[in-house]
């Protein structure tokens, strides 16, 4: 059995978009770390010591209520990074970060990221654009959770998730999805069953495969389209949706400083 190749930093599109001189300063300090499913990255109120750049994993940021209920407010994958609050003069975050889809990430110590950020160059520009994209995702999630059905929320969440991976499948239980969406598991079960009956997804033993992406988009609410459009406008370094198996084939688009 062939060994799975080690993830490369440029599998994270944010890192890949950095100019060579910025990469030369940062890449030697990158540390590859595995991210097991459901592992806790940061707890609410805890000091954050690293910024994480996912390569083939997804991290969900959740808000936890006093009664223990939780809702995911945004997802982070290979389009960006976890730890933006460190660069906004914060030491921690009011949300909890948990691995939604297992994989890997490269991490950088906080001082190294802040040193590059304070150069007021390309990293600063990309961080500000990425922050605006996250704000849009959080705002649209709040609207979606209030006004749209569980069926539509599930479609939106599946689309946002696979957009941040190089494949079309997710490993997670319906209970875990319910926690992500802040709804009961029974509601997720019914919504997932409808999608299976329409041939949009397959679901077995915690493995969800998206079979018909176009139909999934058609069944989703407008919230997904709003987030996708804004993200693509703010982050032009993102490649068009495709399944990538060869790291060398990952498109690298440089974002000029203006």
pLDDT for 226-256, tens place per residue?
A: 999 999 999 999 986 544 333 333 333 333 3
- The 10s digit of each residue's pLDDT in 209-232 is 999 999 999 999 999 999 999 999
The whole-model pTM stands at 0.86
At 30, give phi and psi (nearest 5°).
-75, 140
Given a cut of 90, is residue 179 above it in pLDDT?
Answer: no
- The 10s digit of each residue's pLDDT in 122-165 is 999 999 999 999 999 999 988 888 889 989 999 999 999 999 98
Q: What is the CATH number of domain 9-243?
A: 2.60.120.10
Q: Where are the domains of the chain?
A: 9-243
Which structure tokens are listed for 174?
């319906």
CB 54 within 8 A of CB 9: no
Q: Which residue has the higher pLDDT, 92 or 173?
A: 173
pLDDT at 71: 78
Long-range contacts of 150-153 (CB under 8 A, 24+ apart): 150/181, 150/183, 150/187, 150/188, 150/190, 150/191, 151/191, 151/194, 151/195, 151/219, 152/219, 152/220, 152/221, 152/223, 153/181, 153/183, 153/221
pLDDT at 2: 54
Query: Which of 5-14, 78-87, 113-122 shows the lowest mean pLDDT across its residues?
Result: 78-87
Q: Which residue has the higher pLDDT, 24 or 101?
A: 24
State the pLDDT confidence band at 81, using cuts at 50, 70 and 90. very high
CB 108 within 8 A of CB 51: yes
Which structure tokens are listed for 236?
């032009």
Question: Which residues of the chain form beta strands (DSSP E)?
Answer: 31-35, 40-42, 50-54, 58-64, 70-76, 96-101, 103-109, 169-171, 201-204, 207-210
């Amino acid at each position: 059995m062939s060994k799975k190749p080690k993830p490369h930093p440029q599998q994270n599109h944010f890192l890949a978009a950095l100019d060579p001189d910025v990469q030369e300063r940062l890449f030697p300090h990158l540390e590859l770390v595995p991210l097991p499913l459901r592992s806790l990255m940061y707890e609410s109120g805890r000091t954050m010591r690293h910024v994480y750049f996912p390569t083939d994993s997804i991290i969900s940021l959740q808000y936890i209520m006093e009664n223990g209920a939780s809702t995911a407010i945004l997802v982070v994958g290979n389009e960006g990074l976890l730890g933006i609050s460190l660069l906004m003069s914060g030491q921690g975050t009011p949300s909890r970060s948990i691995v939604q889809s297992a994989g890997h990430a490269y991490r950088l110590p906080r001082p190294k990221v802040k040193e590059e950020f304070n150069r007021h160059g390309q990293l600063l520009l990309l961080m500000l654009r990425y922050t605006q994209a996250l704000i849009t995702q959080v705002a649209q999630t709040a609207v979606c959770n209030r006004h749209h059905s569980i069926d539509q929320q599930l479609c939106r969440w599946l689309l946002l998730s696979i957009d941040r991976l190089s494949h079309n499948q997710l490993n997670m239980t319906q209970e875990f999805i319910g926690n992500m969406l802040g709804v009961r598991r029974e509601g997720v079960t019914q919504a997932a069953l409808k999608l299976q009956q329409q041939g949009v997804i397959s679901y077995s033993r915690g493995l969800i495969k998206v079979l018909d992406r176009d139909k999934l988009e058609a069944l989703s609410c407008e919230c997904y389209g709003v987030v996708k459009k804004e993200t693509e406008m703010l982050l032009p370094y993102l490649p068009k949706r495709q399944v990538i198996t060869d790291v060398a084939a990952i498109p690298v688009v440089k974002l000029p400083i203006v």
